[in-house]
A and B are shown apart, each in its own frame.
Chain A
Amino acid sequence: MQDEHAAIDQRGHRMKQAEPIEWTGYLFVAFFAVPFLLFNVGPILFGLFVSLTEWNIIGSPDWVGAANYLQALSDPWIHQAFTNVLIYGLLIVPGVVVLGLGAALFVNAGYPLTGIARTLFFAPHVVSATVIGLVWVWLLDTRYGLINVYLGRVGVDPIPWLTSAEWVIFGVSIASVWWDMGLAFVLFLAALQDVPKDLLEAAEMDGANRIKRFWFVTLPLIRPALSMVVTLQLIATLRIFSQVYVMTNGGPAGASASPIHYIYNVAIERYLFGYASAIGVLLFILILVVTLLHRTVLRETV
């Protein structure tokens, strides 16, 4: 009994002695933490304050309480921007998931030349929005764009991809899928490479064809990756801005505008910083809800 106490004391004592607090750790973290607090955390808190004021670039803020938020709820442009971004999500997320998974399965199958396939499938992801936007403005040109010329050869009338309100979200979405697919592809490929080969071989022995093997063996095993890709892409799409700005600048008549494009307009064209910050907070809440939903779903299914 006494020996035991002595042992515990000794252990506790030894722990304190052998593991002193390394105060230098705080210094090491501080180099990162100071800019992080100033430029990541600070603006968020400052934004919450600004969203409750009326503040243009000159002059000082006037406290208006929740007025910006109330105004946002009845602003038809905001309704349009948030509706647009949901349509973007319905087009881009499935496009990226299906093509990314297809490309990853293809590269993972061990065919010849898949090394170059891996490089090229990912390549669009490393260039800037300006490159994506301008290439696709040219490819989707109504009269001379490559897409419509080839469609014309099989008898399809020219589609006004970027100049009509009906088609413009499709046009921007095609470019966005081309830009974003690489990330999904890489994440799927990493997940596929972790699928145990012997499981697939066992299923093959049992007579499962490749569709069954994919559906009953591969797909359940890569579900975490699938869920992650869907969430990452959904969040990326809710934040869609640069390609919209470059390709259409939100037009025609706001038909392709996204929430961040509208924030940009409100802040830069109209100098309504309080109002722009309030829309930012609303968008953040939407993204937070999506992220938390994803966590809940992930916990239940894994």
Chain B
Amino acid sequence: MAALVERISTYLHERGLRVVDIPIWIGGMLFLLAWASPFLWMVTTSFKYPEDVLTTHIEWIPRRVTIDNFIQVFELPVLRWALNSAVQAIIATFFCVVFGAMAGFALARMRFPGRGAIFMVFLASLMVPTEVSVVPMLLAFVKVGWASTYQALILPMIANVLSLYIFRQFFLSFPQELLDAARMDGANIMRAFWLIAFPLARAPAVAAAVIIFTLNWNNFLWPLLVTFDESMKTLPVGIAQFAPNVGTHTQIEGYAVAMAAITMLSIPSLVVFFLLQKHFISGISQGGIKQ
């Protein structure tokens, strides 16, 4: 016992902590546990038999499990929605990164009149919430005959100011010698960009790609508005139908199947986040700072 106290106090001392930090740490970890528990409850519920779900007897770890709920999810065209989501998010992310890198490079390293003003216009647009322009945009897409198409899902998402901003910040501190060296070798600025600058911009490219992909994968309002056909819905919009109060499912099986559906829906975002956390958080912080 004495030895344990000794070890704890040495440990605390080494880290510059006090005894009062122990209850704070325990309290914080309990709060963290509570914070993460909705995810655990979601996964737990998704493996339960429907009759084990609607009960006040709480089982954090189910006595018996089933994958029926996951099978039932596929009664709706989930695979088609997943395909739509993937096509939309991948293509939009690709253009966001390429266009953002080109414009970000030009605004950071090329000299032409109006450069500062152009950047200010891009930044100012961030003050306009997309929701304001979404109704007129829907009207325009309907009038052109592009409702419920991939064009409608993708085109409004291919120019993202956040991506441009991340690249511009990176290229502002890009070593001039590298560009000069390329130009000495006779490369024009376009070749210098594609052969030297862009390949070295991996960090901002990953940060921008991760953020933009997640934004698109999770995007809700625009796909909800512009897809009238069941087959052109994206995954978040389609799966929202599993809500017991909106959808056609009864409440009894509703929750178990709904949890199975959103367990599958959240896996790509969570995996991307866990794997690329650093890039994700650096990009997100810059996105906040841009305001």
Listed in ascending order, the chain A residues whose CB lies under 8 Å from chain B are 19-26, 28-29, 31-33, 35-36, 38-44, 46-47, 49-50, 55, 57, 103, 106, 109-113, 117, 119-131, 133-139, 141, 143-144, 146, 149-150, 152, 162, 178, 183, 186-187, 190, 228-229, 231-232, 235, 238-239, 241-242, 245-249, 260, 263-264, 267-268, 273, 276-277, 280-281, 283-284, 287-288, 291
* Given contacts A112-B25, A241-B221, A57 and B139 within 8 Å (CB-CB): yes
Interface of A is mostly: helix
Instruction: For residue A10, give the distance in angstroms from its CB to the closest CB of chain B.
Output: 20
* Cβ contact within 8 Å between B164 and A183: no
* Given contacts A43-B137, A231-B291, A33 and B103 within 8 Å (CB-CB): yes
Contact of B214 among A32, A57, A126, A277 (CB under 8 A): A126
Q: Tell me if B6 counts as interface (CB < 8 A to partner A).
A: no
**CB nearest to B57 among chain A residues:** A149
Contact of A25 among B112, B132, B240 (CB under 8 A): B112
* Cβ contact within 8 Å between B28 and A128: no
> Chain B contacts of A162 at CB under 8 A?
245
What 1/0 mask marks residues of chain B from 126 to 146 whose CB sits below 8 Å from any chain A CB? 011101111111111010000
* Cβ contact within 8 Å between B262 and A134: yes
Q: Tell me if B242 counts as interface (CB < 8 A to partner A).
A: yes
> Chain B contacts of A43 at CB under 8 A?
133-134, 136-137, 140
Q: Tell me if B176 counts as interface (CB < 8 A to partner A).
A: no
> Chain A contacts of B129 at CB under 8 A?
235, 238-239, 283-284, 287
> Chain B contacts of A229 at CB under 8 A?
288
* Cβ contact within 8 Å between A146 and B136: no
> Chain A contacts of B42 at CB under 8 A?
131, 135, 138
Contact of B288 among A25, A113, A187 (CB under 8 A): A187
* Cβ contact within 8 Å between B58 and A149: yes
Q: Tell me if B78 counts as interface (CB < 8 A to partner A).
A: no
List CB contacts (< 8 Å) of B22-78 with chain A: 24-25, 28-29, 31-32, 35-36, 38-39, 41-42, 45, 53-56, 58
